[in-house]
Amino acid sequence: MGIMTLLQEIINLLDWQVLLVLSLSTSLGIVIGALPGLTATMGIALLTGLTYKIPTYLAIPLLMGIYVGAIYGGSISAVLINIPGTGAAAATALDGFPLAQKGEALTALNTTRWASGIGTAIGL
């Protein structure tokens, strides 16, 4: 019974509505994280009121997407302008901004994207 329940939940995760909410909320989270002063926690707090109006199976991916996107988004401003968008990107500014000054900003941003993706996958 346990493996069948797990397989059913994986199928539910691949529903088009869930994937749409995940992609839109992750994009919004990246914007929130890239703006210095707006953190992942603040993004979740601002959108928690919205979750009361939508079904639970969409509300949880919405909040997860905001959080994950904001954590990655914080590294964008850390690399480009040496101001971490979130506290998690403080160390990124130490290595990413000097790379951007040398003309390797795209390399630094690609590295942060891969590191964030791998870290998120391991965290799941």
Q: How many domains does the chain fold into?
A: 1
Average pLDDT, the chain: 93
Domain hosting residue 102, numbered range:
2-123
Give dist(CA 63, CA 48) in Å, integer. 8
What tokens appear for 121 in the block?
A: 């996958």
The confidence score (pLDDT) of residue 28 equals 96
- The band of 87, judged by pLDDT with boundaries at 50, 70 and 90, is confident
Mean pLDDT confidence for 114-120: 93
Q: What secondary structure letter does DSSP report for 35?
A: S
Which burial class, exposed, middle or buried, applies to 67 when counting CB atoms under 10 A from its CB (0-12, 13-18, 19+)? buried
Token readout for 97 is 């901004």
Q: Which residue has the higher pLDDT, 1 or 28?
A: 28
pTM of the model: 0.88
Q: Could you tell me the pLDDT band of residue 1, with boundaries at 50, 70 and 90?
A: low
